[in-house]
Each structure stands twice: as structure tokens, then as C-alpha cells.
């Protein structure tokens, strides 16, 4: 038989747990407003995340000395369900500082191509590249180069004899005309035959947008993308002909980088406006080339199987990770010269996804529970054992 004292105690404990469970559900924030002006901030708790686990990232970063690659990480933010729930900044950057995106620019130029198609400036990705440069005298033209399409530019499969960014960079950047320099390259294979990472091809996308719209790429971006997303603080490098670089050169804040991820999480729609063509998001984030079990390439986006995700990636540690499974966006910026060695997915797993919990689990992981504007402090000071007497 259970004593009256223990029965009362057990009922009281059950009542407290029940109250906490329903209180937790009431304090999960509802649908976020669109972050056009700014991201709404909330606690990890309000998005069913363990803030203590997420804050271990700060301790992790504090442990690295200046000789370690991770000591050059600059900005880190996490968005869940449209809310900013975590941010960390180095001593050199804060939330309002724009950062060079390097090849994350490619995912923006891909988005602008989708918008140009939706707005009727360009019929489709099947258009031939050379048709947009008919006023130029182009070297090494053959049937293969004539068959190159916008789709091939997006897929990194132009067939051009592009030797790689490191090899081509000095000559390309010193050329009088960066677009002409890429167009003049000889062909190595048929378009679409192989993957060959080609920042020059991404620059051709920017040049095509300018040719088709009659607007500078940045002006087109402002009118058709940035104004919708509320991106006002940016810088975009131009080539020597005044064309914004399509494969690098854009500078943004981490919050504005995350807006691109949020646009894609919402299938190309922003605050009720469809910015991208139907199926564009699916088309450009489906893996076209597989490198190993962890990474692949789509169309100016990288893909990985972890949590049904994909990402924009840039040299020196720039990343926008989009995770469909849990409505999460993670942004990193850095000045990390060996960024290929940074285990981003492992960091995200430990400090973001390991922090996801259920409402009942959250009650015992968080010490402070917001209730009607006050805080309830939960302390477990003893283990209660119910026993028969």
C-alpha cells in the first residue's frame, strides 16, 4: 500500500509536470513575420531548442588560439522557423558588418537568373550562351561552343577548357575584358559531359542578365530581389567593363545572407510575392554531380544528404546552409584560408541539431521558463522514490 504522504507527493509532481508541459507549448512562438526589415529575435527555448547546448558553441570557439583555422571564423547565426535564435561574432565583425561572400555570390546569381526568366527577360535556361554576345568576335568557336546553354553554365558543365580558379585567376583578373577572356577559351569537352567548377561561367550568367535586361546586375538585383528581401547594405565588385562579377564579389551581412536561404525555404516566395518560377527551387537544388557520400553539386548550389539540406558555399569559410527537415538556416562567414578543413556539418550537428528537443524534454533542460512575463526557476534538489509501505 502506498502511504498518503507519498501519494500526495506523487500527485503534486505529476501536476507540476503537466503544468510545465502545457506552459512550454504555449511559449513556442507562432509564425514569424517576414524578416524584410529585420529578423525577429527569440530564445532557442521558444523554438524548442536547448539554449545551453547552443551556447556551448561560444565555449568551443573560445578554446581556439590564433593559430587554429577556426579562430578566423567571423560570424555565425542560426534561424529557425523564421526567428533568429543564435548569433556569435568575432572581435572583428558584428551583425551589421558586410562580409565578402566569395562563391556564395553564385547562389545569388542563380536566383537572379530565375527571376529574369520569370519576368520574361530570358525565355529559359535552354537559351544558347553565344546568342547573348552576338556583338562580340569570339575565338575558338566550334559546334560545341555554339551548343553551350545557360543550363550548362548553371551546372558547371560548359565544356570550356577552364583550368580552375587558382590557375586562371591572375591572367583573368588582369585581362582588359573578363567576359571576353572566358568566352575566348577553347572547348575541352561537349557541354554537359563533365563537371568542371568554373567561376568564369558564373560570371557569364551575370553578363547575360545585363545583356537581356539592359540593366546592371546590381540594379536588376535591387529592383527584383533586394528590395523585396529588404537588402539595402551591400557592395558588389565589378569587372573592368562595369559588369558585376557573377561568381564572387558580393558583400552582405549574415542576416541578409540568411534571407536567401529563407526565400528558398519558402519555395521562392517572399511575403506573398512569387519571385521565382514554379519549380525553380527544386530544379537548382537537385544534385547533378555526386562527389562522395556527403557532397554533391546542383546548379550554383551545393548539396548534401544531411537533414535534407543544401548550401551556398564560398572560399575562406562563407556558407548559407538550408535544412528543409527542421526549417533551419545556418550562416557562417570567415577568413579561413584552409576552409576545406572546417567540419561545418559536424559543428551544425553538435551545436544546432543536437539542441533540438521536445517540449517536455525542454522543461528539464532549461532553467528559466517564461510565464506571463515572469520567470519560474526550476530546481531539482532530490530524487523522490515512491515505494510501497
- The pLDDT tens digits for 223-236 are 999 999 999 999 99
Q: What is the pLDDT of residue 71?
A: 73
Cα Rg, the chain, nearest whole Å: 25
Asked whether residue 79 is assigned to any structural domain, the reply reads yes
Asked whether residue 112 is assigned to any structural domain, the reply reads yes
pTM, full prediction: 0.86
Q: Phi and psi dihedrals of 107, rounded to 5? A: -70, -30
The answer to whether 226 touches 234, Cβ cutoff 8 Å, is yes
The answer to whether 262 touches 228, Cβ cutoff 8 Å, is no
Q: What is the pLDDT of residue 69?
A: 63
Which tens digit of pLDDT belongs to each residue from 320-362?
A: 999 998 999 999 999 988 766 678 889 999 999 999 976 544 4
**What distance in Å separates the CA atoms of residue 178 and residue 133, rounded to the nearest whole number?**
13
**What distance in Å separates the CA atoms of residue 382 and residue 194, rounded to the nearest whole number?**
64
Q: What is the pLDDT of residue 73?
A: 92
Asked whether residue 104 is assigned to any structural domain, the reply reads yes
Asked whether residue 342 is assigned to any structural domain, the reply reads yes
Any bridge partners for residue 270, and if so which?
273
Q: What is the pLDDT of residue 339?
A: 67
Asked whether residue 383 is assigned to any structural domain, the reply reads no
Asked whether residue 107 is assigned to any structural domain, the reply reads yes
Q: What is the pLDDT of residue 308?
A: 86
Count of structural domains within the chain: 1
Asked whether residue 306 is assigned to any structural domain, the reply reads yes
Question: What is the CATH classification number for the domain harbouring 286?
Answer: 3.40.710.10
- Which range, of 108-112, 164-168, 202-206, 340-344, averages the lowest pLDDT? 340-344
**Does the pLDDT of residue 247 top 50, yes or no?**
yes
- Domain residues for the domain of 176 are 69-355
Asked whether residue 89 is assigned to any structural domain, the reply reads yes
CA distances from 300 to 59, 143, 152, 352, 380 (A): 34, 25, 11, 25, 51
**What distance in Å separates the CA atoms of residue 324 and residue 346, rounded to the nearest whole number?**
18
Amino acid at each position: 500500500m502506498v502511504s498518503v504522504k507519498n501519494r500526495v507527493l506523487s500527485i503534486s509532481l505529476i501536476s507540476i509536470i503537466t503544468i510545465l508541459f502545457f506552459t512550454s507549448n504555449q511559449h513556442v512562438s507562432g509564425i514569424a513575420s517576414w524578416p524584410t526589415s529585420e529578423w525577429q529575435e527569440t530564445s532557442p527555448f521558444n523554438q524548442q531548442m536547448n539554449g545551453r547546448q547552443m551556447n556551448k558553441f561560444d565555449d568551443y570557439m573560445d578554446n581556439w588560439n590564433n593559430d587554429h583555422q577556426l579562430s578566423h571564423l567571423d560570424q555565425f547565426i542560426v534561424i529557425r522557423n523564421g526567428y533568429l535564435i543564435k548569433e556569435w561574432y568575432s572581435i572583428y565583425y558584428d551583425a551589421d558588418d558586410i562580409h565578402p561572400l566569395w562563391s556564395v555570390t553564385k547562389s545569388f546569381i542563380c536566383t537572379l537568373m530565375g527571376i529574369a526568366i520569370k519576368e520574361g527577360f530570358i525565355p529559359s535556361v535552354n537559351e544558347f550562351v553565344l546568342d547573348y554576345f552576338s556583338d562580340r568576335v569570339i575565338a575558338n568557336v566550334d559546334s560545341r561552343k555554339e551548343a553551350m546553354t545557360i543550363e550548362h553554365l548553371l551546372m558547371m558543365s560548359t565544356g570550356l577548357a577552364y583550368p580552375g580558379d587558382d590557375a586562371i585567376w591572375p591572367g583573368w583578373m588582369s585581362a582588359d575584358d573578363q567576359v571576353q577572356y572566358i568566352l575566348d577559351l577553347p572547348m575541352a569537352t561537349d557541354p554537359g559531359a563533365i563537371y568542371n567548377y568554373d567561376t568564369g561561367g558564373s560570371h557569364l550568367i551575370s553578363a547575360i542578365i545585363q545583356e537581356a535586361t539592359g540593366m546592371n546586375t546590381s540594379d536588376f538585383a535591387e529592383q527584383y530581389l533586394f528590395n523585396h528581401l529588404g537588402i539595402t547594405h551591400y557592395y558588389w565588385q565589378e569587372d573592368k567593363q562595369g559588369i558585376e562579377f557573377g561568381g564572387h564579389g558580393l558583400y552582405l551581412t549574415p542576416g541578409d545572407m540568411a534571407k536567401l536561404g529563407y526565400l528558398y525555404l519558402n519555395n521562392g516566395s517572399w511575403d506573398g510575392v512569387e519571385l521565382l518560377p514554379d519549380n525553380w527551387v527544386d530544379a537548382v537544388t537537385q544534385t547533378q554531380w555526386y562527389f562522395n557520400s556527403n557532397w554533391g553539386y546542383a546548379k550554383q548550389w551545393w548539396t548534401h544528404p544531411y537533414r535534407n539540406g543544401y548550401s551556398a558555399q564560398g572560399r575562406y569559410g562563407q556558407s548559407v546552409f538550408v535544412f528543409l527537415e527542421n526549417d533551419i538556416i545556418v550562416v557562417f562567414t570567415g577568413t579561413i584560408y584552409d576552409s576545406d578543413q572546417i567540419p561545418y556539418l559536424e559543428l551544425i550537428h553538435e551545436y544546432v541539431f543536437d539542441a533540438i528537443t521536445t517540449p517536455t524534454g525542454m522543461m528539464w533542460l532549461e532553467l528559466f521558463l517564461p510565464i506571463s512575463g515572469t520567470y519560474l526557476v526550476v530546481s531539482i534538489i532530490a530524487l523522490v522514490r515512491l515505494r510501497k509501505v
